[in-house]
Structures are given as structure tokens and as C-alpha cells.
């Protein structure tokens, strides 16, 4: 079960163990999906259509973009900006799962609601995602700008510290929180529904297994 389990025999780990598990899950996931994230950002930044029929389009498909990036920039390009991305994923995973654990425990101890209710998981999941998003959003801004750098002519940042310095000098502290509002809304809804659905289907499967065992 994800989150606090109020059952006497429930499997509840320490807060440190929850944070570590969330961090490691974020680290592994980010390492595996980084190439697709880089391609996605290149697609989003391309003004031309993603089509072979457009002669000015640099990228027009996932396989073609992968070959192009590999030929022009080498295999390390698929992990461009990976350090800030890993900081983002590790921090996000730790804060999200730890917050969710603490919030569901708080609901169980301080209210009449059952911590395993679907609505509780939806609300606590959404709040946990907002906390995680707010915590790591500055790193997400740096990560996006790093990954967007492709050809040398558009390479603006020498490193993570240089990127942070330029953002602070040119845009101020608020530059690290660009796009925060839609990010919070997206995180709250997607994560809330994810935890809601997870608990819902776990309950469905539990009921099915219990019914089958009683036959």
C-alpha cells in the first residue's frame, strides 16, 4: 500500500525509508526516460511542423530525431541536463512520497476519515504533488533550459551554475518559477487521480480475491 496503513498489521516504513524509496524510484525512472524527455523538448521547441513534407523541419519523427541527435551530438546528448534532471527526480520523489505518507497519517490520526478512502488518496496525492513541484520547480526550469540546448549556435549555458546565474541576473528570482501555476495544477490533478486509481483498483482486486477464496 502507498501511504499510511492504519491496519494493525499494516506495513508502515519509517519516514526516512519512505524518502529513500521515493528518491531511488525517481533516480531510476529519470535515467531510463531521459532520452525521450530530450526528444520531447526538441519537438516542443521546433517551430516547423513535425513532418517530412516540410523541408525546413529538422525533426519529423522519434526514430529520425534519435538518429539526427546521435550523429550530430553523440550519445551523451540524450542525457543533456541529466544532473539537474536527476536532482529534480530525486527531490521530487522524496518529497512526494514522504508528504503523501505524512498527510495520510495525519488524516488517520486527526480526523474521522479512513486513510484508505479513495477521496483521501486523491486529496493527499494532489497536495503531496504540489509540495514536491514547489520544492523542485527551480531545478525543473534549469533542466528544461539545459535540455533545450542543441546545436552550438544556440548553446547559452556553460554549466548548471552558469545557467542559474544568468537566470538570476536577467530575470530575477521569479525566473526560477516560470510556469509554476500550470505545473501545480497538472501535478495536483495527475497525481491525485493516480493515487486515487491505485487505491481504487487495489480495493477492487482485494474484494475479488476475497470473494474467490470464499467460494
- How many C-beta neighbours within 10 Å does residue 135 have? 16
- Please answer whether residues 38 and 78 qualify as being in contact, where contact means their C-beta atoms are separated by less than 8 angstroms: yes
Band the pLDDT of 4: cuts 50, 70, 90. low
pLDDT tens profile 43-90: 877 777 777 777 778 888 889 989 999 998 899 888 877 777 788 889
pLDDT above 70 as % of the chain = 87
Please state the domain extents for the chain. Answer: 15-214
Q: DSSP assignment of the chain, as one string?
A: --S---STT-----HHHHHHHHHHHHHHHHHHHHHHHHHHHHHHH--S-SSTT-TT-S--SHHHHHHHHHHHH-GGGGGTTHHHHHHHHHHHHHHHHHHHHHHHHHHHHHSSS-TTSHHHHHHHHHHHHHHHHHHHHHHHHHHHHHHT--SGGG---SSHHHHHHHHHHHH-GGGGGTTHHHHHHHHHHHHHHHHHHHHHHHHHHHHHHHHHHH-
Q: How many CA atoms lie within 13 A of 148 on its CB side?
A: 13
Backbone conformation region of residue 149, classed left if phi is above 0, alpha if psi is from -120 to 50, else beta: beta
- Does position 101 have pLDDT exceeding 90, yes or no? no
According to the model, what pLDDT value does residue 204 have?
A: 80
pLDDT confidence of residue 185? 93
Quickly state the pLDDT bin for 95 (edges 50, 70, 90): very high
pLDDT at residue 209 greater than cutoff 80: no
The confidence score (pLDDT) of residue 11 equals: 59
pLDDT score at 132: 93
> What count of other Cβ atoms lies within 10 Å of the Cβ of residue 86?
18
Query: What is the fold, at CATH topology level, of the domain defined by 15-214?
Result: Mitochondrial carrier fold (1.50.40)
**Lowest model confidence (mean pLDDT) among 22-31, 99-108, 154-163, 174-183:** 154-163
Task: Give the number of other CB atoms < 10 A from CB of residue 195.
Answer: 24
Q: What region does 187 belong to: left with phi over 0, alpha with psi -120 to 50, or beta?
A: alpha
Cβ count within 10 A of residue 208? 10
pLDDT digits (tens, 9 = 90+) for 110-141: 876 776 777 888 899 999 999 999 999 998 88
How many other CB atoms are there within 10 angstroms of residue 89's CB atom?
26
Amino acid at each position: 500500500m502507498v501511504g499510511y496503513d492504519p491496519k494493525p498489521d499494516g506495513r508502515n516504513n519509517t519516514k526516512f525509508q519512505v524518502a529513500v524509496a521515493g528518491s531511488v524510484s525517481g533516480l531510476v525512472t529519470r535515467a531510463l526516460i531521459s532520452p525521450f524527455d530530450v526528444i520531447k523538448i526538441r519537438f516542443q521547441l521546433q517551430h516547423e511542423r513535425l513532418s517530412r513534407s516540410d523541408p525546413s523541419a529538422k525533426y519529423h519523427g522519434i526514430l529520425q530525431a534519435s538518429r539526427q541527435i546521435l550523429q550530430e551530438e553523440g550519445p551523451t546528448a540524450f542525457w543533456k541536463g541529466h544532473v539537474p534532471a536527476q536532482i529534480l527526480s530525486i527531490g521530487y520523489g522524496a518529497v512526494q512520497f514522504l508528504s503523501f505518507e505524512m498527510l495520510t497519517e495525519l488524516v488517520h490520526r486527526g480526523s474521522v476519515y479512513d486513510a484508505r478512502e479513495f477521496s483521501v488518496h486523491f486529496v493527499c496525492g494532489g497536495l503531496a504533488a504540489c509540495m514536491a513541484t514547489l520544492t523542485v520547480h527551480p531545478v525543473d526550469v534549469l533542466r528544461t533550459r539545459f535540455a533545450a540546448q542543441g546545436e552550438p549556435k544556440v548553446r547559452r549555458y556553460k554549466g548548471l551554475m552558469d545557467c542559474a546565474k544568468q537566470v538570476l541576473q536577467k530575470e530575477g528570482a521569479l525566473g526560477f518559477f516560470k510556469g509554476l501555476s500550470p505545473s501545480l495544477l497538472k501535478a495536483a490533478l495527475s497525481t491525485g487521480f493516480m493515487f486515487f486509481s491505485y487505491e481504487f483498483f487495489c480495493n477492487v482486486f482485494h474484494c475479488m480475491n476475497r470473494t474467490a477464496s470464499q467460494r
